[in-house]
Every structure is written in structure tokens, then in C-alpha cells.
A and B are shown apart, each in its own frame.
Chain A
Amino acid sequence: AQKITQTQPGMFVQEKEAVTLDCTYDTSDPSYGLFWYKQPSSGEMIFLIYQGSYDQQNATEGRYSLNFQKARKSANLVISASQLGDSAMYFCAMREASHSGGYQKVTFGTGTKLQVIP
């Protein structure tokens, strides 16, 4: 079963508008973390934001905020005031303990391709 689900293969947003990218997750580990990454066409992985399962407040980093709804197991990324340079693939990822224990692992969702329209 997919542990990280991104249901939007592609999204369009008008420049200067806000956009929400969806991410839901499934884990039995009470201590986990959620990452969002941006991958432009150049291929590099750019860290955007992180939310720990015990964090009381939603994470924010500049124009990026994470709408963390723990009971619903969702961790949506909100990008405010979209810019043309925001056009890229966006991946949600989850850190959790492995089933065999002793270490952590990070798995990725399928990604959302965001295109910002001038």
C-alpha cells in the first residue's frame, strides 16, 4: 500500500496566486516527519519545509507553509504568491522508523507537477 499519496499529478496556478498541493500519508510510527521538496528540470532536490509529528504549530518557510492535519493524516503544501520560478515537480516525503527497527527511512510520494501561468 502506498504510504505517501499525492493525488494531483499536475496543477496550474496563475502567477501571484496561492496554490495548495495535497499530500496524505499512512504510518503507525508515532514519531514521524514530513518533508516537501521541489525538483526543477535541472534535477536537483531542493528542500522546502519540514513538519515533525509532535510539532504543535504548522511549519512555515517564507512563501511556503504546511497545513498539517494530524488526525486526517494530511500535510498539504501551500505556496503563496506563486512565481514563474515555482514551476517544477513537488514531492512530499515521510520519515518513519523502519519495521525492523533501529533506523529511519524516508519514502516519497509520486509528485505533483506545478506550472505557473503568467
Chain B
Amino acid sequence: SAVISQKPSRDICQRGTSLTIQCQVDSQVTMMFWYRQQPGQSLTLIATANQGSEATYESGFVIDKFPISRPNLTFSTLTVSNMSPEDSSIYLCSVLTGITYNEQFFGPGTRLTVL
């Protein structure tokens, strides 16, 4: 199993500013994901952050807006840049583990409100 922590747990930010969210895992994992969950919606995959390579972004998400770092196998950051109220959401870090990639674990999420 994997235990994931995220910082901050919540934040209120002004438009135009940036926020960096940290994700720490208690074990080494190769595959890490960042998701966004807007109120009342499902989880939308932002990007896959694999150590040793650049993050791969899903359609509709770009590196300039959501830069991701993955310096090692236990840590990653997601930055939400030049924020607008539309970025208000819960951001979730997740990892995929298991011999057959059959286990996925989630962090508690970061609740972001942009004014």
C-alpha cells in the first residue's frame, strides 16, 4: 500500500497568483498522477508525472498553466499558475502500484479557492 500526504490541505488565493501543491508518498512509486475534481464533478486527469521524464499532460491542460516537478520516486509538486476563479477545485495526487498496476491510492486532496 501507499500513504500519500498533500500540502496544503486547503488555500484561498487571489486571481493572478500561483500556488504549488506538494505530494509526498511513503514509498517509492513510479507512476504518479495529478487530478482535478471540480465541485460535484468526477476526477479529471491533469497529467502523469513519472520520475525521470517530463510530465505528460492530458488534452486541455498545458505545462505553462500546470507545471509539474517529479524530482524523485516519493515526491511531486503541481503548480497552478496565474489562477482564475475557474481553477477553484480539489486537486488530488494519486499513485499506481502493484505488479499488475492493480492498486491506486489517493492523497487527501488540496481544496483551492480562487477569489
By a beta-carbon cutoff of 8 Å, the part of chain A in contact with chain B is: 33, 35, 43-45, 47, 50, 52, 91, 93, 95, 98, 100, 102-111
**Inter-subunit contact A35/B104 (CB<8 Å):** yes
Shortest distance from the beta carbon of A10 to any chain B beta carbon, whole Å: 12
Secondary structure at the B interface, as helix, strand, loop or mixed, is strand
**Inter-subunit contact B109/A43 (CB<8 Å):** yes
A-B contact count (CB 8 A): 58
Q: Does B106 contact A (CB under 8 A)?
A: yes
| Interface size range on B against A | 20 to 34
Chain A residue nearest to B102 (CB atoms) is: A50
**Inter-subunit contact A104/B96 (CB<8 Å):** yes
**Inter-subunit contact B42/A91 (CB<8 Å):** yes
Chain A residue nearest to B49 (CB atoms) is: A103
Interface residues of B in 22-73 (CB under 8 A from A): 30-31, 33, 35, 41-45, 48, 50, 53, 56
A50 to B27, CA, bound (A): 22
A102 to B30, CA, bound (A): 11
A44 to B94, CA, bound (A): 12
**Inter-subunit contact B96/A43 (CB<8 Å):** no
